[in-house]
Amino acid sequence: MEGVAGVVPPAEAEKATALLRDRYTTALLAGDQAEAARVVSDALDRDIEVAPIYLEILAPALARIGDAWMRGDLNIADEHLATSITLGEMARVRNAVYRRGRLGASVIVAAVEGEEHAVAARMIADLFAIEGWDVAHLGENTPAEDLVAMARSRDADLVVLSLSHPDRLAAARRTVEMLKALDEGPVVFVGGKGLPQPGSADALPADFVSSNPVEALRTARELLGLHRERLTLEGQLEALGRRVQELRKARGWSQQKLAAEAGLDRTYLGTVEQGRQNITIGAALRLAEALEKTLPELIGPR
Considering 62, 96, 130, which residue would you say is the last residue of a domain? 96
Within this chain, do residues 290 and 204 fall inside the same structural domain, yes or no?
no
In a domain, 62, yes or no: yes
In this prediction, residue 5 carries a pLDDT of 37
In a domain, 101, yes or no: no
* Partners of 109 in beta bridges: 137, 160
Within this chain, do residues 167 and 247 fall inside the same structural domain, yes or no?
no
In this prediction, residue 9 carries a pLDDT of 55
In a domain, 211, yes or no: yes
In a domain, 3, yes or no: no
In this prediction, residue 98 carries a pLDDT of 64
Q: Of 17-21, 98-102, 116-120, 177-181, which range is least confident?
A: 98-102
56, 105 Cβ separation under 8 angstroms? no
Q: Is the pLDDT of residue 278 over 90?
A: no
What's the pLDDT band for 294 if we cut at 50, 70, 90? Answer: confident
In this prediction, residue 127 carries a pLDDT of 94
Within this chain, do residues 216 and 117 fall inside the same structural domain, yes or no?
yes
In this prediction, residue 111 carries a pLDDT of 93
Mean pLDDT of 47-72: 92
| CB within 8 Å of 118: residues ≥ 6 apart | 83, 87, 111, 139, 140
In this prediction, residue 254 carries a pLDDT of 92
104, 229 Cβ separation under 8 angstroms? yes
Within this chain, do residues 245 and 196 fall inside the same structural domain, yes or no?
no
Within this chain, do residues 91 and 114 fall inside the same structural domain, yes or no?
no
Mean pLDDT of 153-173: 92
Considering 44, 63, 96, which residue would you say is the last residue of a domain? 96
Give me the helix-helix angle, 59-71 and 10-30, nearest 10°: 40
Query: Tell me, what CATH number does 148's domain have?
Result: 3.40.50.280
Q: Is the pLDDT of residue 148 over 80?
A: yes
Query: Tell me, what CATH number does 88's domain have?
Result: 1.10.1240.10
Within this chain, do residues 198 and 239 fall inside the same structural domain, yes or no?
no
In a domain, 5, yes or no: no
Better-scored residue on pLDDT, 33 or 10: 33
In this prediction, residue 165 carries a pLDDT of 86
Q: Is the pLDDT of residue 94 over 80?
A: yes
Q: Which of 85-99, 137-151, 216-230 has the highest mean pLDDT?
A: 137-151
In a domain, 73, yes or no: yes
**How many structural domains does the chain have?**
3
Sign for the pseudo-dihedral over CA of 138, 192, 131, 295: positive
Q: Of 23-27, 134-138, 289-293, which range is least confident?
A: 289-293
Angle at 272 between CA 269 and CA 277, to 5 degrees: 120
Mean pLDDT of 118-128: 93
Query: Does the pTM exceed 0.75?
Result: no
In this prediction, residue 200 carries a pLDDT of 57
Within this chain, do residues 159 and 251 fall inside the same structural domain, yes or no?
no
Q: Is the pLDDT of residue 283 over 70?
A: yes
Within this chain, do residues 127 and 201 fall inside the same structural domain, yes or no?
yes
Within this chain, do residues 203 and 278 fall inside the same structural domain, yes or no?
no
Within this chain, do residues 89 and 115 fall inside the same structural domain, yes or no?
no
DSSP assigned state of 104: S
Considering 29, 63, 96, which residue would you say is the last residue of a domain? 96
User: For residues 219, 220, 221 and 225, what is the CA-based torsion angle, rounded to 10 degrees?
Assistant: 100
Q: Of 38-52, 166-180, 286-300, which range is least confident?
A: 286-300
Measured distance CA(120)–CA(249) in Å, rounded: 26
Within this chain, do residues 237 and 220 fall inside the same structural domain, yes or no?
no
In a domain, 1, yes or no: no
Query: Tell me, what CATH number does 293's domain have?
Result: 1.10.260.40
Within this chain, do residues 158 and 214 fall inside the same structural domain, yes or no?
yes
Mean pLDDT of 133-139: 94
Write out the residue range of the structural domain in which residue 34 sits.
10-96
In a domain, 2, yes or no: no
What's the pLDDT band for 1 if we cut at 50, 70, 90? Answer: very low
